[in-house]
């Protein structure tokens, strides 16, 4: 068994969030630069150029790439041979608290969905945990902005809806969202499982590298079809018209009940912030 100090967890979470809010992943940054050459609208091209410039400034000056520095989502993959003493959630939230103080990031979390008193330190985080073989912990920290999250959804389709029903739901959702999720967007889909599993898979899909390809040929084809059809909607960068509405579509899937076809759509703005580290 390997013992890990919770102080190391706190420090890692803090560092990941400081980096995530100021450094856009190279996969997304490269895709944005590529989108400049693909965008047919003059205004759309100018918008993407400004987004790229903004991300360069954020990295060079260590300032947030977006004023909405998100509600923190933490994914933990905990090795079964790892032990610790104390409250793991508390250690993670301390890392969040320190990052948002040190980085002068906007605090966007309220303590009650109706009373809405700001917690003043962007805690608590939303924490998802998996137990995996080994003696390491992988931490992925994702500051998720509210705009794209607000136009995400979970829908319980029926098996008869099939692939065309999924496509119709995704296209309708993105068309209705328009410029609200700050396109160019990344579309994370969770298909299968049940209601909560689909939602979690959609969020996890947004953590995938934009250059990866799912091993499942059916889902890979659906990702490609949806990306093309989304970009045919004409929504364009920031909803002002153009070719590039989405940079990528990523689908995660899971076995499901014979009577069900759960579909979750989690949208991510162009500030697709997440960082990972193994300790």
Collect the ranges in the chain with pLDDT lower than 70.
none
The verdict on 257 and 167 lying in the same domain is yes
Task: Count CB neighbours of 33 within 10 A.
Answer: 14
The verdict on 11 and 131 lying in the same domain is yes
List, for residues 57-78, the tens digit of each pLDDT value: 999 999 999 999 999 999 999 9
The verdict on 163 and 117 lying in the same domain is no
Work out the mean pLDDT of the chain and round it to a whole number.
98
Q: 210 exposed, middle or buried (CB, 10 Å; 0-12, 13-18, 19+)?
A: middle
Q: Which of 116, 144, 172 is the last residue of a domain?
A: 144
Q: Which of 127, 144, 161 is the last residue of a domain?
A: 144
The verdict on 96 and 189 lying in the same domain is no
Q: Which domain holds residue 128?
A: 2-20+65-144
Containing H/E element for 78? Answer: strand 71-79
The verdict on 151 and 140 lying in the same domain is no
pTM of the model: 0.96
Q: What distance in Å separates the CA atoms of residue 170 and residue 275, rounded to the nearest whole number? A: 27
């Amino acid at each position: 068994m390997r013992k890990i100090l919770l102080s190391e967890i706190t420090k890692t979470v803090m560092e990941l969030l400081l980096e995530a809010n100021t450094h856009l992943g190279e996969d997304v940054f490269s895709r944005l630069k590529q989108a400049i050459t693909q965008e047919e609208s003059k205004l759309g091209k100018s918008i993407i150029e400004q987004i790229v410039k903004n991300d360069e400034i954020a990295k060079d000056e260590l300032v947030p790439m977006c004023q909405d520095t998100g509600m923190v989502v933490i994914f933990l993959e905990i090795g079964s041979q790892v032990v610790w003493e104390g409250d793991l959630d508390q250690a993670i939230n301390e890392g969040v608290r320190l990052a948002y103080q040190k980085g002068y990031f906007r605090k966007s979390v309220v303590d009650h969905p109706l009373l809405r008193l700001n917690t003043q330190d962007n805690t608590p985080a939303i924490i998802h945990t998996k137990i995996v073989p080994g003696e390491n912990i992988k931490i992925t920290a994702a500051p998720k902005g509210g705009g794209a999250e607000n136009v995400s959804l979970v829908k319980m389709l029926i098996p008869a809806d099939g692939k065309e029903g999924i496509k119709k739901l995704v296209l309708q959702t993105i068309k209705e969202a328009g410029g609200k999720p700050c396109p160019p967007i990344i579309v994370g889909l969770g298909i299968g499982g049940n209601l909560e599993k689909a939602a979690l898979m959609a969020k996890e899909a947004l953590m995938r590298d934009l250059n990866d390809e799912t091993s499942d040929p059916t889902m890979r084809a659906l990702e490609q079809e949806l990306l093309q059809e989304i970009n045919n909607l004409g929504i364009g960068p920031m909803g002002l018209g153009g070719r590039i509405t989405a940079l990528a579509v990523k689908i995660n899937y899971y076995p499901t009940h014979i009577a069900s076809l759960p579909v979750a759509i989690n949208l991510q703005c162009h500030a697709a912030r997440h960082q990972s580290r193994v300790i």
